[in-house]
């Protein structure tokens, strides 16, 4: 058919070709849309690395970019340990792991229950991980877990009294890595160990004045366990948490690099910050829809635009894969920012300030200690309440059994009781 149409166009003129001019007028628009889509989709990872046998801990690996990272690494043979808030018997996590195993032909996919909103849960898992002799193998930690409060939402706090964005996006990572640090340092010197932090360009708008400049906490300055949840906006809370992550990652690289190994070999751990860009993830959808049904309707109406200018989760994962597999990173000193599958400069100089890093580290340690103490008080209250409820239930059951034993039910006589036999 195309041959006959082309032949007709040559003999009878291009006007004889059906829909020729509409196609010519539409073609530039299609090419333009393709170029725009290609631009916003970003660069693909071109690096490869043998991942068979490597143990990778992943947070936020059940949805969005984290899920794409898990599937890509699993398809290359990595042993994935998912840190998830779901119970291991939860049908969702069971089916999810089963799907990943089937899709990637990799059965080395497991999960551990770790609630990132609970410092106690994090400590329980991390101490169990490092309490092993010889030290367990650990090649990589990928921190993709993230939360974002919609602009119309209210700032929420965890049961331990920590603002939610600060807890999940930053403090959970700080607490987890602080405990797992010995496990990372104990890895053999010939092992390429990497820690990947997920960050975001929003860190440029955050501030840590209440940490780096101690004193009366200025309004809209950031997050603290003692700050009222309404003293700053959701956008500021998110940006500040990402700024803290960026600052801590650079401090953590210095912390690991300064460790003197018993074998006198150089440090072999690289800390990398990864900015995946703006993607069509559940978190982004929640942000764009303002967490409301009306916003969700508008999001669906405008979906062609979001599809055009936002990356897919798989394309967002490309920078993580670059950080996980790029060979040249081995020769770097670590503590670098990766964006669009390349190393970029930081947009703020203060994240590299040693004074700011020390202030944040000390503040975070105090905050973890205070929050865990508050959490212990709350857990003790729950345990006492459960104990009281159990004792009350046992007392009720005991009274019920006693009444049945003496032949009474609600204070009335029943056949077979001693008084009924005497009356007979």
Instruction: State how far the alpha carbon of 254 is from the alpha carbons of 141, 242, 257, 269, 358, in Å.
Output: 17, 19, 5, 10, 11
In whole angstroms, give the CA distance from residue 222 to residue 169: 13
Q: At what angle do helices 354-405 and 119-130 cross, to 10 degrees?
A: 100
| Distance, first Cα to last Cα, the chain | 107
From residue 50, alpha-carbon distances to 61, 76, 248, 325, 404 in Å are 21, 7, 29, 8, 71
Query: What is the secondary structure of 296-360 as a DSSP string?
Result: HHHHHHTHHHHHHHSB-HHHHTHHHHHHHH-GGGGGS-S-EEEESSSEE--S-GGGG-HHHHHHH
- SS3 call for 19: coil
Q: How many whole angstroms separate alpha carbon 238 and alpha carbon 149?
A: 8
Q: Which of 98, 49, 95, 103 is nearest to 75 (CA)?
A: 103
Two structure tokens written together for 44: 């693909």
In angstroms, the CA 322 to CA 338 distance is 8
290 burial (CB, 10 Å; 0-12 / 13-18 / 19+) is middle
Q: Give the residue numbers annotated as catalytic, written as ranges.
A: 242
Query: Tokens 């960050």 map to which residue?
Result: 199
By residue count, the chain amounts to 424
Q: Are 276 and 337 in contact (CB under 8 A)?
A: no
């Amino acid at each position: 058919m195309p041959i006959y149409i082309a032949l007709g166009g040559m003999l009878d003129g291009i006007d004889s070709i059906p829909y020729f001019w509409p196609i010519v007028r539409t073609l530039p628009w299609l090419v333009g849309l393709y170029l725009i889509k290609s631009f916003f989709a970003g660069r693909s990872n071109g690096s490869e690395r043998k991942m068979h046998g490597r143990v990778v801990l992943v947070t936020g690996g059940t949805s969005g970019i984290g899920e794409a990272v898990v599937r890509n690494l699993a398809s290359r043979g990595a042993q994935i340990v998912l840190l998830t808030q779901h119970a291991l018997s939860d049908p969702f996590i069971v089916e999810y792991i089963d799907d990943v195993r089937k899709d990637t032909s990799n059965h080395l996919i497991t999960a551990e229950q770790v609630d990132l909103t609970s410092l106690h849960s994090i400590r329980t898992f991390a101490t169990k991980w490092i309490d092993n002799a010889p030290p367990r193998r650990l090649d990589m930690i990928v921190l993709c877990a993230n939360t974002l409060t919609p602009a119309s939402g209210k700032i929420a706090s965890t049961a331990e009294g920590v603002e939610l964005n600060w807890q999940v996006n930053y403090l959970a990572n700080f607490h987890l890595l602080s405990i797992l640090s010995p496990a990372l340092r104990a890895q053999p010197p010939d092992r390429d160990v990497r820690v990947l932090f997920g960050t975001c360009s929003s860190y440029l708008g955050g501030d840590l004045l209440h940490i780096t400049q101690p004193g009366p906490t200025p309004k809209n300055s950031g997050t603290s366990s003692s700050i009222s949840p309404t003293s700053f906006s959701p956008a500021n809370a998110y940006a500040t948490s990402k700024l803290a992550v960026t600052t801590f990652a650079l401090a953590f690289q210095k912390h690991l690099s300064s460790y003197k190994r018993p074998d006198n070999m150089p440090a072999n751990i690289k800390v990398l910050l990864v900015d995946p860009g703006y993607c069509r993830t559940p978190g982004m959808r929640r942000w764009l829809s303002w967490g409301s049904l009306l916003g969700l309707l508008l999001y669906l109406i405008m979906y062609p635009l979001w599809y055009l200018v936002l990356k897919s989760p798989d394309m967002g994962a490309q920078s993580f894969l670059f950080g996980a597999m790029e060979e040249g990173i081995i020769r770097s000193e670590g503590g670098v920012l990766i964006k669009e599958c390349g190393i970029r400069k930081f947009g703020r100089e203060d994240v590299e300030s040693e004074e700011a890093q020390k202030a944040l580290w000390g503040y975070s340690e105090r905050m973890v200690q205070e929050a865990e103490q508050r959490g212990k008080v709350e857990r003790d209250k729950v345990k006492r309440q459960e104990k009281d409820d159990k004792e009350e239930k046992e007392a009720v059951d005991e009274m019920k059994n006693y009444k049945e034993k003496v032949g009474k039910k609600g204070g009335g006589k029943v056949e077979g009781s001693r008084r009924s036999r005497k009356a007979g």
